Every structure is written in C-alpha cells, then in structure tokens.
Amino acid sequence: MLTRDTLVRRDQEDPLAGFRDRFVLPEGLIYLDGNSLGAMPRDTPARVRDAVERQWAEDLIGGWNKHGWVDAPARVGDKIGRLVGAGAGQVVAADSTSVNLFKMLSAALDLRPDRKVILSDRGNFPTDLYMAQGLAALRAAGHELRLVEEHEVEAAIGPDVAVVMVTQVGYRTGRKHDMAAISRIAHAAGALTLWDLAHSAGAFPVHLDRDGADFAVGCGYKYLNGGPGAPAFLYVAKRHHDRVRPPLSGWFGHEAPFAFDLDYRPAGGIARNLCGTPQVLGLAALEAGIDLMLEADLEIVKGKSLDLTDAFADLVEQEMPGVFELVSPPEGAHRGSQVCLGHKEGYAIVQALIADRVVPDFRAPNVLRFGFAPLYIRHIDVWDAVARLKRIVTDRTWDREIYRRRAAVT
Ligand SMILES: *Cc1c(COP(=O)(O)O)cnc(C)c1O
C-alpha cells in the first residue's frame, strides 16, 4: 500500500529535487506531458534574448563567426551525444526528427542495396512510418515497409531486412525496445539499425556506441526541453561516416560551403548530414535545455523515472482497481518514462483532468498518456494526479459535452 507520506519522504530524499526550480512552471499545474513538449528552463529566455538582442541585432552577419553560429549544430550535437552515449563527432543538431529520419533511412538503405525490407513495428510513431513510405516511393526501387507488433521485432529480423527502424520507446505504449539485443540480432542477420530516441533522450541513459546502433534520430522539444519546434538531432556511427551518401545534399553538408562550387562534394565526418543554414535561434533555446540536462546524472534520472512511473501505475490500481487497463509494460525495465492507461472514455477523461490542472495527453483511439519528466516532476505530483483522476472517475465529471469536443492537437 502506497501512502502519501511515502511520496513526501521520497521528495525530501530526492537528489534531483533542486532541478524543479530551474524550470518555469505554472503555479499549481501538474504537468505530465513533458514527453510531448518539455517545460521551459529558467535560463532559456536570457539565452534566447542574448542571441537575438546582442548577437543578431548588434553583430548581424558577423555573428556566424563571432558567436559560433556556424558551429552550433556540431557543438550542440556533441553535447547531445553525451546524453545518448555517442562519442564526439557523431551527432549533429539540425532539422526536424521527420527530416532526419528520412536522411538516415536513405543513408542506411544505400548501405544495403540488395535488400528491400524496412522493418518497423505498429507501435512506431506515424511520422516515422510516413517518412519511410515517402522515401520508398521516391526511390522506386521496390522497398517494402514491413510492420510487426512491438514484441515481434526481434523475431522478424531476417535475411531480407535492410534496416530495422524502431522508436526505442513506443509513444503509445511506453514499451522500451532492447537496443543491444536488436542491434546484435540485426547485425547477425546483416541488417542495420535506425533508432528514434524521441522518448529516450533525456529520460534515461542511452548507449548508442556501446549498444551497437548504426543510425539514430531524436527530438529536441520533449525531454531535452528545447522549446516548441526545437531542432532535432541525428547520429551516424563513425564506422559508416565515409560511406553515407546524403539524399538532401545541401550546402551545409558540402566539403567547402563557402567555395560555392557548382558540384556537390560531401563534407567529411558527420557534417555531411547537415543540409541548410543552421536554426540559430532554435539552437540557442535547445542548448539551454541540453546544458541543464547535462548537469544531471542520467542514472539518477532513470531511477527517479522508474520510481515515478511505478508509483503512478500502482496507485491507479490501488485507488481505482479495474477502472483502467495498463497499456504500458508493468515492469519498469521494459518501459520508458511514461505510463499509458486505456479507457474507452479516455479523451473526455483527459479533458476533465486538464480542466482540473493535471495535464497528460490523449493518443487515439483510447489511451491516456502520462509522461514523467524526472527533472521537474515531484513524487507528490503522482499522488495528487491520481487523487484528481479518481475524483473525476468517481463523480463522472468527464461525462459532459464540453469534454467530448475534439481540438486539433490532442
Ligand atoms: C515526437 C516524435 C516525432 C516528431 O517528429 P517531428 O518531425 O518533430 O514532428 C517523431 N518521431 C517520434 C517517435 C516522436 O515521438
């Protein structure tokens, strides 16, 4: 039996407790959606203001050299690399997750010209699947996007698979793939791996190099707290650098962008995976989020994430037995930093919760998704969120027309 006192005590003993004040959060709001859009670090406005009012306004074009704008994708990329277990020179921050996925998938397919299968799972995020479908159509080389259930990926890796393309933590279930195991099986079968770290980076330690990943992409605005529409990132294992042929061969991936040659020649190293001009203002905000994240020990972050998610799942069952279906894996080791609950009135319940100052999100058709960003969520927030959820369910507060109306973004 989990009690309020236990959670109060966990907050008192929490080594990450001091991080909450480094974010700006609305008073009284329990924000369980940092896996969709992370909270704003307190430092971000000053960092962005400096980039705008001093660097841009005063130095104009000179800012590219003077303020290191031109190096920002590699500089921020290396910092992200420290969060995802990638040695220096293998990560850049640029573009969006969708665009990076397109680039990395194309690069991977080039390395396996005799194979036609892109293997993914039905739990993958739709944009990843859409980008693969678009790329396959563009290449017109007979590629097939083969989808299996999340737990079937390992078994489905066969000799016809070119690339195993999965999101490490499924957005709808929170289920976490075993990166080392999938890499091992894929490599034994002659396939490559492409990981989407959208729900991993900043939530727990990722070990891209150690676990044998070939390619990866990830998102800047979720657990990395880079702000809405923040630049994303991409990773290419060093062993593939020289063989990558960028499908979006823009000038920032050229060997000498300012030579203005008429012909494209790829830059050496990771830089060839850049395309156009760096998103300087977005990178300034992203870097503020990353710098803050780098102050935390990710093993401790992971421990707190497990405590928060375990407590939430347990409390929901303790306080409302049988009301929700636990969609996420029950064992923390197989779960990211979120807990997903199934309920046929999920949409209305989420709207009623938001009206009661608890913010999860809803994922069609029936999933209530609760994300726990360990840097700013307290253990007591778990108690309070479950208490409000229980009241809404018990009083049927959700059962009103205003809570059934669908907004564009859920
Ligand atoms: C959030 C998310 C994205 C977002 O992609 P954008 O290009 O930033 O819209 C992509 N993939 C996964 C798995 C995500 O969770």
pLDDT in tens, 167-213: 999 999 999 999 999 999 999 999 999 999 999 999 999 999 999 99
Q: What does the DSSP assignment read for 296-324?
A: S-HHHHHHHHHHHHHHHHHHHHHHSTTTS
pLDDT in tens, 235-287: 999 999 999 999 999 999 999 999 999 999 999 999 999 999 999 999 999 99
Please say if the pLDDT value at position 393 is more than 80.
yes
Amino acid letter, 348: A
Rounded mean pLDDT, 96-114: 98
Active site residue 125: yes
What the block records as the tokens of 158 is: 């066969």
Mutate which of 127, 194, 367 to test ligand 1's pocket (most atoms within 8 Å of Cβ)? 127
Active site residue 369: yes
DSSP class of 114: T
Kindly report the length of the chain: 410
CB 348 within 8 A of CB 405: no
What's the predicted TM-score (pTM) here?
Answer: 0.97
Mutate which of 125, 173, 224, 361 to test ligand 1's pocket (most atoms within 8 Å of Cβ)? 125
Active site residue 235: no
Token look-up 């990843």 returns 128
Question: How far from 72 is each of 68, 76, 94, 97, CA to CA, in Å?
Answer: 6, 6, 9, 17
Q: Rounded distance, CA 357 to CA 289, Å?
A: 24
pLDDT in tens, 38-89: 999 999 999 999 999 999 999 999 999 999 999 999 999 999 999 999 999 9
Q: 42-72 burial, b for 16+ CB within 10 Å, e for fewer?
A: ebbeebbeebeeebbeeeeeebbeebebbeb
Q: Rounded distance, CA 148 to CA 164, Å?
A: 11
Determine if ligand 1 sits within 6 Å of the CB of residue 121. Answer: no
pLDDT in tens, 332-391: 999 999 999 999 999 999 999 999 999 999 999 999 999 999 999 999 999 999 999 999
- pLDDT more than 90, % of the chain: 98
Composition of the chain by helix, strand, coil, percent to 5: 45, 15, 40
Q: Is 143 helix (H, G, I), strand (E, B) or coil?
A: coil
- pLDDT more than 70, % of the chain: 100
What confidence category does residue 140 fall into, taking pLDDT thresholds of 50, 70 and 90?
A: very high
What confidence category does residue 406 fall into, taking pLDDT thresholds of 50, 70 and 90?
A: confident
Sign of CA dihedral 44, 46, 49, 55: negative
Q: What residue owns the CA closest to ligand 1's atom 10?
A: 97
Residue 189: predicted pLDDT: 98
What the block records as the tokens of 294 is: 């780098």
CB 274 within 8 A of CB 94: yes
Please say if the pLDDT value at position 410 is more than 80.
no
Residue 409: predicted pLDDT: 81
Mean pLDDT of the chain: 97
Residues 6 or more apart whose Cβ sits within 8 Å of residue 148:
119, 120, 121, 122, 155, 156
Q: Which of 10, 115, 176, 222 is catalytic?
A: 222
CB atoms within 10 A of CB 300: 13
129 CA → ligand 1 middle, Å: 11
Active site residue 221: yes
